């Protein structure tokens, strides 16, 4: 797990332990680094990311304050995290309630995303992801062919696909291209996510590439908006 994710988890644990609310002031940097058992430099870099996520804000000469809802899992779109990492970093125990893997005939959107011929068969993994046993995401992962044999050898329902790709297969994950679409919760989704039918759901479609730019995964992730806050850091560019 990246250093800032470890600090984020430590920060969330601290907030829960101290029962801090939005607007609460965090300790001074030196004291806080000692409390979290990290260096000031590492803490400073992590706090920069948290500001971009809208979790904290700083008033120069006064201090740093909480501004985010830590009861929701925060996903910053411009940082490419796996779902297991995201849930764990928010201080929850990641798990799986529904698990299915099979070979299917892919639709054109999927074959185009993975650079495959039309009507190709692709391997798919479907899971309902939980945070402290609460269903929060329904994920559908379509694999590039060269990943399938290795993934089939694992029977771990809780496997982190990103962790498996990088640590077991030695493939470095690069950038991802994602789009977010608001949809109404279908009857099937409502059953899987234990959520209200026709209630709003956030669908994220994403193509994940390796470091050399080859597509390795096409993913559809359905997020319960009462459990997630998705942030986007929009940087102004001078034209």
Burial (CB < 10 A; 0-12, 13-18, 19+), residue 89, is buried
Please name each of the domains of the chain with its CATH number: 3-66 (1.10.10.10), 73-231 (3.40.1410.10)
Which pLDDT tens digit goes with each residue over 19-65?
888 888 999 988 988 888 888 888 888 888 778 767 788 888 899 98
Q: Average pLDDT, stretch 208-222?
A: 92
Per-residue confidence band for 227, with pLDDT thresholds at 50, 70 and 90: confident
pTM: 0.69
Q: Is 43 helix (H, G, I), strand (E, B) or coil?
A: helix
For position 78, what pLDDT does the model report? Answer: 46
For position 68, what pLDDT does the model report? Answer: 66
Per-residue confidence band for 72, with pLDDT thresholds at 50, 70 and 90: low
Strand partners, 2: none
Question: Quick check: 24 and 66 in contact, CB under 8 A?
Answer: yes
For position 17, what pLDDT does the model report? Answer: 83
Which pLDDT tens digit goes with each residue over 16-31?
788 888 888 999 988 9
Phi, psi of 188 (to 5 degrees): -65, -45
Average pLDDT, the chain: 84
**Which two structure tokens, joined as six digits, stand for 167?**
């640590």
pLDDT > 50? residue 76: no
For position 184, what pLDDT does the model report? Answer: 96
The residues, any chain, with a CB within 8 Å of residue 92's CB and separated by 6 or more, are 73, 131, 132
pLDDT > 90? residue 74: no
Report the percent of the chain where pLDDT is more than 90.
38
Q: Average pLDDT, stretch 186-199?
A: 95
């Amino acid at each position: 797990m990246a250093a800032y994710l470890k600090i984020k988890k430590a920060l969330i644990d601290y907030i829960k332990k101290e029962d801090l609310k939005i607007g609460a002031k965090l300790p001074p940097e030196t004291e806080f680094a000692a409390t979290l058992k990290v260096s000031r430099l590492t803490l400073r870099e992590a706090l920069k990311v948290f500001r971009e996520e809208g979790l904290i804000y700083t008033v120069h000469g006064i201090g740093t304050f909480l501004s985010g809802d830590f009861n929701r899992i925060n996903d910053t779109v411009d940082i490419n995290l796996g779902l297991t990492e995201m849930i764990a970093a928010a201080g929850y125990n990641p798990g799986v309630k529904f698990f299915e893997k099979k070979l299917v005939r892919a639709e054109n959107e999927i074959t185009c995303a993975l650079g495959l011929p039309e009507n190709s068969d692709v391997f798919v993994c479907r899971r309902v992801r939980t945070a402290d046993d609460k269903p929060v995401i329904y994920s559908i992962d379509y694999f590039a062919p060269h990943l399938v044999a290795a993934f089939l050898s694992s029977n771990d329902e809780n496997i982190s696909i990103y962790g498996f790709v990088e640590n077991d297969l030695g493939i470095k994950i690069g950038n991802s291209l994602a789009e977010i679409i608001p949809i109404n919760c279908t009857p099937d989704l409502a059953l899987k996510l234990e959520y209200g039918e026709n209630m709003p759901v956030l669908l994220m479609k994403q193509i994940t590439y390796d470091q050399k730019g080859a597509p390795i995964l096409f993913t559809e992730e359905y997020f319960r908006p009462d459990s997630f806050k998705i942030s986007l850091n929009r940087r102004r560019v001078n034209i």
